[in-house]
Structure 1
Amino acid sequence: MTEEHLPVRPSTFAELEKLIGQELGPTEWYEITQDRIDAFAAVTNDHQWIHVDPERAAASAFGTTIAHGLFSLSLGPQFSSQLLAFDGFAHSLNYGYDKVRFPAPVPVGSRLRMRSTVVSAEQLPGGIQVKTRQVLEREGSDKPVAVAEAVARVVEKS
């Protein structure tokens, strides 16, 4: 689906089923700054030098600091809301991730965006479980920086 039709807003299970196999996106670009990397390090208490020490990281194979892989993954919900909205439901919840990989680093200053494909939708009592394949890409690179299958629970209005 193209950007002008986003986010897609399914309001029933049948509408969501029709999206299976469709790629949604891309999202808007999001810049990875050192301040954002440092904030993520502070929240997660993961202060590895490759993420937070620009001087030391300059001498590394990457030549600069790189974002935490989990920082990239944590952008999934922000990006997902640009692609798929469940306005016709009570709410949606992150249920987990399957098949998470970080094929390429994210150097500071990179810009990321996401494309998503609806993989499956399963009717459950009181809602739906939906799985999407999320591919985060870095501007100027052919290799994704993160690939994961996100599992969400969408709760029907009572």
Structure 2
Amino acid sequence: MAAYVAENAAGAVVHASDDATPWIDVDQRRIDAFATCANDHQYIHARDAPGGAIAHGFLTLSLLTPATAARTTPAWSTRAVNYGLNRVRFVRPVRAGARVRARAIKIVAARALPDAAGAETEYLVELETAPSASSASAERAELALVASWIVRHYV
């Protein structure tokens, strides 16, 4: 099994594509629920915030899981475990009522684990906000978050 993982994991491409994942709604109900879970009730997340509510950065980050789930698991992987993040940047706020999606999910590096149980992969994932009505192109979306995410895959 160690040889299989080493041969199939190191440098493997799980999903490298410019096609986007389905949209995920970031409505006020979701923001309120996250605020309750995180005990973070800062005024900028409230429904009546000046200029409108802004989603928590960590809420946006947590949406990487559902956004990328179907696209980041190699065929040989029986389970994936979140191992952490190397880099996260909250590039632009996500306002209540926006939608987000992942795009450009690319493997930065993959290597077999020393215990030969699986592979560690690092993804570059971008979340985008929904295109605005005034945008010249319906396909253009503003970058909201960039994350380098490490996931351990096991056979």
TM-score by length of 2: 0.81
Map of 1:151 onto structure 2: 150
Render the CA deviation track for 1:73-131: whole Å, top value 9, x for unaligned. Answer: 00111111132234532311000011100010101000110011111111112110000
Structural mapping, 1:1-158, within 5 Å: 14=8, 17-19=11-13, 22-23=16-17, 25-52=19-46, 54-55=47-48, 57=49, 59=50, 63-86=51-74, 88-115=76-103, 116-124=105-113, 125=115, 126-140=117-131, 142-156=141-155
Give ranges in structure 2 of 5+ residues lacking alignment: 132-139
| AA at the equivalent of 2:81 | L
| AA at the equivalent of 2:80 | S
Cα shift at 1:24: 5.4
Aligned residues: CA RMSD:
2.2
The one of the two structures with greater contact order (alpha-carbon pairs below 8 A, sep at least 6) is 2
Cα shift at 1:155: 1.3
Q: Distance in 2 between the 1:15 and 1:95 partners?
A: 16
TM-score by length of 1: 0.80
Three-state SS of the structure 1 residue aligned to 2:44 is: helix
| AA at the equivalent of 1:155 | Y
Identity fraction in percent: 32
Q: Distance in 2 between the 1:101 and 1:32 partners?
A: 18
Give ranges in structure 1 of 5+ residues lacking alignment: 1-10
Render the CA deviation track for 1:37-79: whole Å, top value 9, x for unaligned. Answer: 0000011101111102x22x1x3xxx10010000000011111
Q: Is the 8 A contact 2:9 2:119 kept in 1?
A: no
Equivalent pairs counted in the alignment come to 140
Q: Distance in 1 between the 2:108 and 2:94 partners?
A: 26
Q: Distance in 2 between the 1:45 and 1:86 partners?
A: 36
| AA at the equivalent of 1:123 | A
Q: Is the 8 A contact 2:10 2:112 kept in 1?
A: no
